[in-house]
Amino acid sequence: MLNERLHLKTSLLAMAIFTFFGFLAYNTPLGGDDWAWGSAFGEEQWKNWFDNYNGRYLSNSLVIILAKVQWLRVLFMALISTMLVMLIGRLGSQHQEGRMRTAIALILFLIVPVNMFGQTFGWLSGYVNYVFSAVLLLMYITINNKFLDAEEPQKFLRRDFLLMTLLGLLTPLVVEHVTLFIVFTSFLTILYTLIRFKKLYAIHLTYTVASIIGTVLMLSNRAYAGLFGGQASYGRVVYADRPDMFFDIFKESITPILFIDSYAIHMVLSGLMVLFLMQKGTDGKKPKVFLKYGTMSFFLGVIFFFLVIRPALGDYYLGEFTEDAEALFFIFYFLALSGALFVFSTETKNRTRFAFYAIGVLLMTAPFSVLYPYGPRVAFSAYVFLVMIGTELALQIISKSGISNRMTRMPLYSTVAVLTMFYAFTIWMNGHTDRTRIAKVQNALQNDPQTVEITELPYPQYHWMPTPLPGNSHIEHYRNYYGIPDSTDIIVQPYFPAPR
C-alpha cells in the first residue's frame, strides 16, 4: 500500500512537470533556424540528406518535422523536458528521495542563465540538438547507475540490450560534442566494470560498438572535412599557433558563459559545498583541518564574488587583467569543487559518482578549446552535469542533517512554485504576442498589402531570434514560412513604447 502511494505521488509529480513544460512549449515561438527548417530550405536539405551540411541526421530530421507540426512539437518538448528532470530523479534509489531529487533538479534547471534558456528551452532547433541529446545521455547514465551502488556484478534485462543498442546508434546523430563524450564514456564504463567486478559486460560492448557505428555515420558527412580549413557552416578548428591560445579561448568564451553568466548555479553549489564540508570530520589531522576550513572559506569567497565584488566594482574591476584573473579563479574553483567532493566523500560510490559528473563537465567543455564557436547552447551539456552535482550534493546534505522530509519539502516545492509561475507568465506573454502578430499578418495578406507590421515580443531574450529584425539573416526564411511575398515590406514595431 505504501509503495502504491509513493508511485502515485511520483506519477502526479511527473504529470505536473509535463503540464508545465507543455505549457512552455505551446507558448514558445519559432525563431531563427526554425523558419528555415520548416520551409523550402529544410526540404532541400532533407532531399540531399544533409550532404556537406552536418551529420546531425536525427536532430535535423526531427526539427524539420516539428517545425511543421505544432501539436507534435508541444508533445515532444513536454516529454523530453519531463524526462530531463525525472531521469535525474531516477538516479536515487527511493521514491521519496527521487521526488526530492527531481524537485532540486527542476530548480537548478530553472535558474539557468537567460541566454542559455533562450538557446535551448526557448528555441526549437537548439532544443532538439542540446536538450534532446542530454536526455539520451541521461538514459544511458540511468541504466548504468546500478553499478555505482552494487557490491556484486549486475544482470541486465533483454530490453536493456535493445535500449542500449538504440541509444548507441542514435545519440551520435544529434550533436558533435555529445558524440565524442559517449564514445569516451563507453570505454570508461568498460574499464570501470573490469576493475571493480573483474567482468566484461556484453551490454557495454554492444553500446560501444553501436556508438562507434553512429559516430562513423555522423563524421562521414563531407561537412566535417571543412572544420580544419574553416569552411564548415557551423564551426571550425582553432589551431594553437602560440602556447597561450587555449587559455585565451577559455577566458574569452568559456569563462563568461559557463561561469559568469551561470552565477546562480555556482552560488548554489558553493553554498552547498560549505554545508557539505561543515558535516565532515577531520579526525584532528592538521592538514585535513586546514584543507576543510580553507576550502570552506574559498567557497564563501565565491559567493562574495558574485554577490558583492562584481555588482559593486563592475565587469572590469582589475582593468586589462580582469579576464585573466577570472579565468584562473574559476579554474581553481572547479579544481576545488572536484577535489573537495572526492576527498571528503566517505563512500566509494559517492566518490565515483562525483568524479564522473566532474569529468562530464570537463569533457563537455574540453573540445571547445580547439573548436569554435562556443555559445550558451553548447554549454548546456556541461550545465546538466553541474545540475547532477548539485542535486546529489543537496540530497547527501539533507540525508545527514537529520531534518525530516516534511520540513525539506515545503521550501523546495515553494521555490518550484515561484520559479514555474515566473516562467509561465513570461513565456505566455511571448507566446500570446506571437500568436496575435501571426494572426494579424495572415489577415493582412488577404488584401495584398504593401507592408505588414509585426510586434516584437515583450521578453525576446528568452528565445533565439524570435523576430525577423532588419538585417536579420533569417528574414527570407520567415517570409517563406508564413507566405509573405517579397513585394511586401515587413515593419517591426516595439512591444514597449520607447521611454521619453
Residues 431 and 366 in one domain: no
Contact indicator for 240, 370 with CB cutoff of 8 Å? yes
Flag whether 359 is in a domain.
yes
The Cα–Cα gap between 275 and 254 comes to 28
Flag whether 12 is in a domain.
yes
C-alpha cell at 417: 512554485
Strands 451-455 and 489-493: parallel
Residues 103 and 203 in one domain: yes
The mean per-residue pLDDT over the stretch 477-494 comes to: 90
* Residue 257 clears pLDDT 90, i.e. is over it: yes
The mean per-residue pLDDT over the stretch 194-200 comes to: 84
Confidence of residue 117 (pLDDT cuts 50, 70, 90): very high
* Residue 22 clears pLDDT 90, i.e. is over it: yes
User: Which pLDDT value is given to residue 154?
Assistant: 67
Flag whether 455 is in a domain.
no
* Residue 238 clears pLDDT 60, i.e. is over it: no
Residues 441 and 359 in one domain: no
User: Which pLDDT value is given to residue 379?
Assistant: 96
- What is the span of the domain harbouring residue 171? 1-220+405-446
Instruction: Provide the CA 81 distance to its chain's centre, in angstroms.
Output: 10
User: Of 172, 330, 359, 337, which is closest to residue 253 (Cα–Cα)?
Assistant: 330
Residue 14's CB is within 10 A of a number of other CB atoms, namely: 17
User: Among 402, 422, 438, where does a domain finish?
Assistant: 402
Residue 480's CB is within 10 A of a number of other CB atoms, namely: 16
Residues 21 and 48 in one domain: yes
Instruction: Provide the CA 371 distance to its chain's centre, in angstroms.
Output: 19
The Cα–Cα gap between 496 and 500 comes to 12
Most confidently modeled of 199-213, 422-436, 473-487?
422-436
Q: What percent of the chain has pLDDT over 70?
A: 92
* Residue 94 clears pLDDT 50, i.e. is over it: no
* Residue 231 clears pLDDT 60, i.e. is over it: no
User: Which pLDDT value is given to residue 148?
Assistant: 65
User: Which pLDDT value is given to residue 466?
Assistant: 94
Angle at 474 between CA 77 and CA 61, to 5 degrees: 40
The mean per-residue pLDDT over the stretch 383-392 comes to: 96
The string of pLDDT tens digits covering residues 25-51 is: 999 999 989 999 999 899 999 999 999
* Residue 486 clears pLDDT 90, i.e. is over it: no
Flag whether 56 is in a domain.
yes
Tally of structural domains, the chain: 2
C-alpha cell at 485: 511575398
Say which residue the cell 504529470 belongs to.
Answer: 15
Flag whether 453 is in a domain.
no
C-alpha cell at 146: 546500478
Confidence of residue 341 (pLDDT cuts 50, 70, 90): very high
* Residue 8 clears pLDDT 50, i.e. is over it: yes
Residues 269 and 124 in one domain: no
User: Which pLDDT value is given to residue 18?
Assistant: 97
Phi and psi angles of residue 237, each rounded to the nearest 5 degrees, phi first: -85, 135
Contact indicator for 69, 34 with CB cutoff of 8 Å? no
Angle at 479 between CA 473 and CA 480, to 5 degrees: 105
Residues 263 and 130 in one domain: no
User: Which pLDDT value is given to residue 17?
Assistant: 97
User: Which pLDDT value is given to residue 236?
Assistant: 54
User: Among 402, 433, 467, where does a domain finish?
Assistant: 402
The Cα–Cα gap between 57 and 60 comes to 5
Tell me the pLDDT of the chain averaged across its residues.
89
Contact indicator for 333, 302 with CB cutoff of 8 Å? yes
User: Of 31, 66, 39, which is closest to residue 482 (Cα–Cα)?
Assistant: 39
Flag whether 356 is in a domain.
yes
Per the model's pLDDT, the better-predicted residue between 498 and 264 turns out to be 264
Written as one letter, the residue type at 414 is S
Confidence of residue 92 (pLDDT cuts 50, 70, 90): low
Residues 53 and 185 in one domain: yes
User: Which pLDDT value is given to residue 232?
Assistant: 52
Per the model's pLDDT, the better-predicted residue between 304 and 153 turns out to be 304
Residues 190 and 252 in one domain: no
Buried b (16+ CB within 10 A) or exposed e, 252-263: ebbbbbbbbbbb
The Cα–Cα gap between 253 and 372 comes to 9
* Residue 144 clears pLDDT 70, i.e. is over it: yes
The 8-class DSSP code of residue 236 comes to E
User: Which pLDDT value is given to residue 48?
Assistant: 92
Range scoring the smallest mean pLDDT among 63-67, 328-332, 401-405: 401-405
Residue 433's CB is within 10 A of a number of other CB atoms, namely: 22
Flag whether 187 is in a domain.
yes
User: Of 128, 76, 31, which is closest to residue 459 (Cα–Cα)?
Assistant: 31
Flag whether 494 is in a domain.
no
The Cα–Cα gap between 349 and 466 comes to 45
The Cα–Cα gap between 418 and 424 comes to 10
The mean per-residue pLDDT over the stretch 165-183 comes to: 94
Confidence of residue 272 (pLDDT cuts 50, 70, 90): very high
Furthest-apart CA atoms within the chain: distance in Å: 84
* Residue 152 clears pLDDT 90, i.e. is over it: no
Tell me the CB-side half-sphere exposure of residue 480, using CA atoms within 13 A.
18
Strands 236-237 and 371-372: antiparallel
Residues 339 and 416 in one domain: no
User: Which pLDDT value is given to residue 430?
Assistant: 97
The 8-class DSSP code of residue 127 comes to I
Residues 67 and 142 in one domain: yes
Residues 26 and 160 in one domain: yes
The string of pLDDT tens digits covering residues 455-473 is: 999 999 999 999 988 777 7
Residues 155 and 22 in one domain: yes
Confidence of residue 224 (pLDDT cuts 50, 70, 90): confident
User: Among 373, 402, 431, where does a domain finish?
Assistant: 402
The string of pLDDT tens digits covering residues 74-84 is: 999 999 999 99
Confidence of residue 95 (pLDDT cuts 50, 70, 90): very low
Written as one letter, the residue type at 50 is F
The 8-class DSSP code of residue 489 comes to E
User: Which pLDDT value is given to residue 137?
Assistant: 95
